[in-house]
């Protein structure tokens, strides 16, 4: 997920709250996370970590720190965030080489570290959550603010993130600025416990689905193969027509097409629907293309 919004809009706070709505670690997940943390030297004495990981490296992190490496090929942040959340604040401020090193872990769910005489693979099935300002100045597109550099400020800033990496990000969300009236007269909102209950119900549906297909109960929609998601996320007639029209008009890649199906399947699970409907696909597509409005916002 990529959140785009001005400073102070709550992007970091939203990311930090995400683990609170995720289900607790299962026995297998707990063991995997503890083994990785132990190899990295973050656990000692045979302890186990029962907390879902949340990692937030600084934007000065090197490629070895991000995907793993060093003299003994230790796991990096992508593996330390396995079964949890990897949060990258100030996304474009990371080195382009470091950002592009995330492409393989995001696609395969593992980080491969190759050396002259050995090869090490660490699991890296994490949720990438990134946050960025709309431009380097931070306030492009906000009412009452004018960027002194114009539209080029936003386009240059966003260009630091490569197209292939953006193609692997399923949700692009615009986060508006928080006004004083929002703080003085806050609106009623769902609690984390309410949202968590809905997430747990959707995860239970997915666990039952994939267990019946002979996969591990920890499997989620994001980990499905292309052929499997086409089967379990077969949309209704209206949804199929919408997806075909959107794919032709917006020139979706094959990867984007299957990732939209995965998001739509998840939205249907959260909605308690066995069928992926047009409304689920419409929402999934809207998340996919939201970030494309960024350059015009300046």
| Total domains present in the chain | 2
CB-based contacts of 142, cutoff 8 Å, min separation 6: 6, 134, 177
- Does 6 share its domain with 143? yes
How far apart, in whole angstroms, are the C-alpha atoms of residue 281 and residue 157? 30
Whether residues 86 and 129 share a domain: the answer is yes
Is the model more confident about 34 or about 151? 34
Residues 41 and 181 in one domain: yes
Per residue in 236-262, pLDDT (tens digit) is: 999 999 999 998 898 898 999 999 999
> Band of the pLDDT at 114, cuts 50, 70, 90?
confident
Structure pTM? 0.89
Residues 182 and 283 in one domain: no
Strand 85-88 to 127-132 pairing: parallel
Instruction: Tell me, yes or no, whether 175 and 205 share the same domain.
Output: no
State residue 191 phi and psi, 5-degree precision: -85, 165
What residue numbers bound the domain in which 36 lies? 2-187
Q: Reduce the DSSP state of residue 287 to 3 states and report it.
A: helix
pLDDT score, position 158: 86
Q: How confident is the model at residue 154 (pLDDT cuts 50, 70, 90)?
A: confident
**CATH code at position 252:** 1.10.8
Of 171, 187, 203, which residue is a domain's last? 187
Q: How confident is the model over 126-155, as a mean pLDDT?
A: 80
Q: Mark which of 187, 212, 239 sits at the end of a domain.
A: 187
Output DSSP code: residue 168: T
| Residues 225, 248: Cα–Cα separation, whole Å | 23
Which of 187, 204, 233 marks a domain boundary? 187
């Amino acid at each position: 997920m990529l959140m785009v919004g001005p400073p102070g809009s709550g992007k970091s706070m939203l990311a930090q709250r995400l683990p609170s709505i995720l289900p607790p670690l299962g026995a297998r997940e707990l063991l995997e996370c503890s083994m990785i943390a132990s190899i990295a030297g973050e656990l000692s004495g045979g302890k186990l970590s029962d907390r879902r990981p949340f990692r937030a490296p600084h934007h000065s992190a090197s490629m070895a720190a991000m995907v793993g490496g060093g003299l003994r090929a230790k796991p990096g942040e992508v593996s330390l965030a396995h079964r949890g959340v990897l949060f990258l604040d100030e996304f474009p401020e990371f080195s382009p080489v470091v950002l592009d090193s995330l492409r393989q872990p995001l696609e395969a769910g593992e980080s491969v570290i190759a050396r002259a005489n050995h090869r090490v693979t660490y699991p890296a099935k994490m949720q990438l959550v990134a946050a960025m300002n709309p431009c380097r100045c931070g306030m492009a597109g906000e009412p009452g603010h004018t960027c002194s550099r114009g539209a080029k400020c936003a386009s240059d800033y966003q260009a630091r993130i490569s197209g292939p990496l953006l193609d692997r990000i399923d949700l692009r969300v615009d986060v508006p600025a928080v006004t004083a009236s929002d703080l003085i007269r806050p609106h009623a909102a769902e609690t984390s416990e309410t949202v968590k209950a809905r997430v747990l119900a959707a995860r239970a549906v997915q666990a039952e689905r994939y267990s019946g297909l002979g996969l591990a109960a920890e499997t989620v929609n994001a980990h499905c193969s292309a052929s499997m998601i086409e089967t379990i996320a077969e949309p209704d007639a209206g949804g199929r027509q919408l997806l075909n029209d959107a794919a032709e008009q917006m020139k979706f890649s094959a990867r984007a097409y299957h990732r939209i199906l995965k998001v739509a399947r998840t939205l249907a699970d959260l909605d308690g629907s066995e069928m992926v409907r047009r409304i689920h696909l419409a929402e999934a597509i809207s998340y996919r293309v939201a970030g494309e409005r960024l350059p015009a916002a300046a």
